[in-house]
Amino acid sequence: QLVLVESGGGSVQAGGSLRLSCVASGEDISSRCMGWFRQAPGKEREGVAATYDRALSRYYADSVRGRFTISQDNAKNTVYLQMNSLKPEDTATYYCAAQTYCTPAIDRLRDSTYHIWGQGTQVSVSS
């Protein structure tokens, strides 16, 4: 059974950087489609970035493209989210997730297509 554990969240000032990690256990994720999502208080969960490492495919929300980078280290069974030029509006709880099977690309940032979730890590960005 695949289990995902996120870490790396924290509090930073606007313009700063954080790297989130999602360590997977119980299963090899090299053939999985993986994603990062976030949810701010009072808002719906939104897709931030997604990856399918075997196809070298990467997808980003417009709000983070050019600032965030998703990557995967299969030797460590880990997915990362490098977040640069952070803004106060990036404040949220960030979740790592895995799809049971890879959906078409258009669905890769839709949270309803992911069925395995981590517990989340909090990111706070102050102005």
Beta bridge partners of 68: 83
Q: Residues of the chain with pLDDT > 90: what percent?
A: 88
Q: Please give the full DSSP string across 14-64, using - where no structure is assigned.
A: TT--EEEEEEEESS--TTSEEEEEEE-TTS--EEEEEEEGGGTEEEE-TTT
Rounded Cα distance, 23 and 3, in Å: 8
Neighbour count for residue 39 (Cβ, 10 Å): 15
pLDDT in tens, 51-73: 988 778 899 999 999 999 999 99
Rounded Cα distance, 52 and 1, in Å: 20
Task: DSSP letter for 112, please.
Answer: G
pLDDT in tens, 65-107: 999 999 999 999 999 999 999 999 999 999 999 998 888 888 8
Is there a contact between 79 and 72 (Cβ–Cβ < 8 Å)? yes
